[in-house]
Amino acid sequence: MSITLQHLLSIVPSPRQRKWQELEFYAFIHYGMNQFTNREWGTGREEPQLFNPQALDTDQWCDCIAKARMRAVILTAKHHDGFCLWDTKHTDHSVMHSPYGRDIVAQLAQSCSKRGLKLGIYLSPWDRHDARYGHGKAYDDYFCAQLTELLSGYGEIFCVWLDGACGEGPNGQKQRYDWERYYAVVRNLQPDAVLSVCGPDVRWCGNEAGRCRKSEWSVVPKSMADNEKIAGLSQQEDNEAFRQRVPSDSDDIGSREALRGIDDLIWYPAEVNTSIRPGWFYHVEEDQKVRTLAELQSIYLQSVGGNAAFLLNVPPHPQGYIAAPDAKRLEELGTWIHSSFSLNLLEGASFSVSDDSYVVSVKTKRPVSPQYLVLQEDITQGQRIEAFTILYEQDEAWQIACQGTVVGHKRICPLPDGISSCQWKLEIHSCRGEARLKTFALY
Ligand code: FUL
């Protein structure tokens, strides 16, 4: 049975998902014990004495993040090793019992509010240190108490990022997470926060390499939010090969063909997460392996410009600041974003829309030579466009500038060099009902 249009168009984002979607590009900060042991996954047996940054400067982190034109940051408040970066009452395994002795979540929250950045929390459910892990309700009580501290003591939190990795704890047991209980704590304390990855609001794109699908749909089968499956696909070992891997078996998860016969659908938009370095944590030997500007531009165009958000990890140096190669790259990236997308060449142009909304024509006073096309749909009306072409007029004929599939929150298409025209046209070839375009811009 084919799915009805009415049903497809009834699936729209929640207010919290709409707010999150506007952020588009934000930072991940993996910082903690692993910086002092040069590991990716701690064992949980590390002594808090090891944690001793001498120059921790969350203002510097936020300066770098803001210069990259990112709008938020998510901190690993606790990674799999169980070491907590905040002043928690529920364990001694924290910064407060280390030579550093200060609350890093509080410091970062302050730095964020000075710069207008939003703060998110990564709290690893997998805990290799705590003896309660693997003991059912006792650990869930602990995890909820940690969430409660983090969501009530540090102002507004925009995201709780729940990792799928689930291994054994210190007693060799695995925990069966009580996800619904965790979600209830978040909804209760921070109703505007999105629950990402192992949560129902933001979907993991399915790899850590920085790729997303050619057509990234936000309306997908509800089964995509199944935590067991997400955990199964996510990293099972501390392994670089995994971080480079891009599974190709799930390229189409949202076309009408793929949704055939599936009634249970949700709005579950994608996030692309990757690191600026090979590892999630800082390793001095990777100072020469910071991603190039061209790589980051390409990931940005694919993700932000492909109806997904871009979560870029930048791991600080053990001493507590973002190292020079990463800081430089972030600034270059921010400069490129700003210079590429600040002047819309269609500002003040005259637009006309065909009766069925499938053709949008635009005329500019003088010929324009854009580098990028930007389209956006009004997603409060669902995600509708399935295929489009952009044409321009040259010598009294229409030429194709570019073609694309889905739009959703945002589609950016790089345009071929050398086009110059004052007449442009968007043709929508395939759409779920009438198009609801919000932005048609050329930069
Ligand atoms: C994975 C973790 O195992 C990695 O260490 C990292 O935190 C990444 C974002 O998620 O599941």
Tell how far the Cα of 228 is from the centroid of ligand 1, in angstroms.
16
- Strand, coil or helix: 286: helix
As a whole number, mean pLDDT of residues 274-294 equals 98
**Residue 166 near residue 229 (C-beta atoms within 8 A):** no
Atom of ligand 1 minimally distant from the CA of 281: 5
Please check the confidence at residue 183 and state whether its pLDDT lies above 90: yes
Tell how far the Cα of 235 is from the centroid of ligand 1, in angstroms.
7
Please check the confidence at residue 261 and state whether its pLDDT lies above 60: yes
Task: Decide: 34 in ligand 1 pocket, CB within 6 A.
Answer: no
pLDDT at 384: 98
Substitution candidate for ligand 1 out of 208, 273, 276, 281 with most atoms within 8 A of CB = 208
pLDDT band at 244 (very low <50, low <70, confident <90, very high): confident
Please check the confidence at residue 325 and state whether its pLDDT lies above 70: yes
Please check the confidence at residue 338 and state whether its pLDDT lies above 70: yes
DSSP letter (8 states) at residue 84: B
Question: C-alpha distances in angstroms, 125 versus 79, 81, 128, 161, 369?
Answer: 8, 10, 10, 10, 50
Six token digits for residue 56 = 């921790």
Please check the confidence at residue 250 and state whether its pLDDT lies above 90: no
pLDDT at 179: 96
pLDDT band at 356 (very low <50, low <70, confident <90, very high): confident
Q: What is the pLDDT of residues 25-36, one digit of tens each?
A: 999 999 999 999
Q: How far apart are CA 132 and CA 171, in angstroms?
A: 9
Q: What is the pLDDT of residues 143-157, one digit of tens each?
A: 999 999 999 999 999
Listed range (85-99, 164-178, 244-258, 270-284) with the worst mean pLDDT: 244-258
Burial degree of 418 (CB within 10 A; 0-12, 13-18, 19+): exposed
Supply the pTM of this predicted model.
0.97
Please check the confidence at residue 306 and state whether its pLDDT lies above 90: yes
pLDDT at 345: 98
- Strand, coil or helix: 184: helix
pLDDT at 227: 87
Instruction: Please count the other Cβ atoms lying within 10 Å of the Cβ belonging to residue 64.
Output: 24
Instruction: Please count the other Cβ atoms lying within 10 Å of the Cβ belonging to residue 395.
Output: 5
Atom of ligand 1 minimally distant from the CA of 273: 9
pLDDT band at 232 (very low <50, low <70, confident <90, very high): confident
Which residues make Cβ contacts (< 8 Å) with residue 412, sequence separation at least 6? Answer: 301, 304, 305, 306, 372, 373, 374
Please check the confidence at residue 1 and state whether its pLDDT lies above 60: no
pLDDT at 237: 76
As a whole number, mean pLDDT of residues 6-16 equals 97
Atom of ligand 1 minimally distant from the CA of 41: 5
- Work out the mean pLDDT of the chain and round it to a whole number: 96
As a whole number, mean pLDDT of residues 319-331 equals 98
pLDDT at 248: 64
Task: Decide: 280 in ligand 1 pocket, CB within 6 A.
Answer: yes
Please check the confidence at residue 231 and state whether its pLDDT lies above 90: no
pLDDT at 219: 98
Atom of ligand 1 minimally distant from the CA of 164: 11
Q: How far apart are CA 127 and CA 152, in angstroms?
A: 22
Scan for tokens 């600040």, then name that residue.
342
pLDDT band at 383 (very low <50, low <70, confident <90, very high): very high
Q: Which residue owns the Cα nearest ligand 1 atom 1? A: 235
In 121-222, where does DSSP find H-type helix?
A: 137-152, 179-189
- Strand, coil or helix: 147: helix
Task: Decide: 196 in ligand 1 pocket, CB within 6 A.
Answer: no
Tell how far the Cα of 30 is from the centroid of ligand 1, in angstroms.
9
Please check the confidence at residue 367 and state whether its pLDDT lies above 60: yes
pLDDT band at 2 (very low <50, low <70, confident <90, very high): low
As a whole number, mean pLDDT of residues 196-202 equals 97
